[in-house]
Chain A
């Protein structure tokens, strides 16, 4: 079950804020956030586990609302280096050896000077 990301694309000016959402129709165990620059491999940002939590480093943070089965990624005071496609990956169920991460279609973030 692929998670739904919104918006599909967003354009910012340097210093502006953005929120990217990731929603699932099924109960989630964890949500993983990655950023991928064009032609490069995805780079891990953070993992949020069920139980509802928030995490963050630098000016990028995320929350996980277990009741809504939704995670949001917050980018504050955006920098040019934040440009890229942001993917959320969700894991259903309770883990185990048959772990599977399903990625959303991504949100293309462009930060302009």
Chain B
């Protein structure tokens, strides 16, 4: 009955090698979010989609891109991962703004 699914759960990539993380949802929610969480830190919002409307945080590096081809799927592309990009990446969804966010299990990214 998984509602927010992230693949893969663990991703190892090399320095500078592009990587794509995926998120899918069965909740038919309008809003999808991507967060970056480093060890012992709070989740940090990278960007979010409200339907097809993309909202990028001002401090999100250009190295991070996102795509939402349809309601169910959202992708996080890291064009040239650096060592500092190693983190847990969390996808979340909500039906509308100001409502509960449902998180996926996360993808742990390791950059070698």
A residues engaging B (CB < 8 A)?
2, 29-30, 32, 34, 40-44, 47, 49, 87, 91, 95-106
Say yes or no for B34: interface residue by CB 8 A criterion: no
Contact for B97 among A2, A34, A99, CB less than 8 A: A99
A87/B97 contact (C-beta < 8 A), A42-B90, A42-B103, A97-B50 known: no
**Which B residues are in CB contact (< 8 Å) with A105?**
41-42
Cβ of A91 and Cβ of B102 under 8 Å apart? Answer: no
**A98 to B48 alpha-carbon distance, docked (Å):** 9
Interface residues on chain B, size class: 20 to 34
Is the Cβ of B97 less than 8 Å from the Cβ of A106? Answer: no
Within 8 A of A (CB), among B79-112: 90, 97-106
Bound: A101/B93 CA distance, A = 12
B23 → chain A, closest Cβ, in Å? 11
B98 A40 Cβ-Cβ under 8 A: no
B residues engaging A (CB < 8 A)?
31, 40-45, 48, 50, 53, 55, 57, 90, 97-106
Besides the known contacts A32-B100, A100-B45, 8 further A-B residue pairs in the complex with CB atoms under 8 A apart: A41-B104, A44-B100, A49-B98, A95-B98, A100-B55, A101-B101, A103-B42, A106-B40
Q: Are the CB atoms of B97 and A29 closer together than 8 Å? A: no
Partner of A97 from the list B45, B53, B101, B102 (CB cut-off 8 Å) is: B53
Q: Which residues of B contact A91 (CB under 8 A)?
A: 98
Instruction: Give chain A nearest CB distance to B110 CB in angstroms.
Output: 14
Taking a contact as CB atoms under 8 Å apart, the answer to whether A44 and B101 are in contact is: yes
Chain B residues, Cβ within 8 Å of A44: 100-103
B42 contacts A99, CB within 8 Å?
no
- If A42-B43, A87-B43, A100-B45 touch, does A32 touch B55 (CB 8 Å cutoff)? no
Residues of A within 8 A of B104 (CB): 41
Given A43-B103, A44-B102, check contact A97 B97 (CB 8 Å): yes
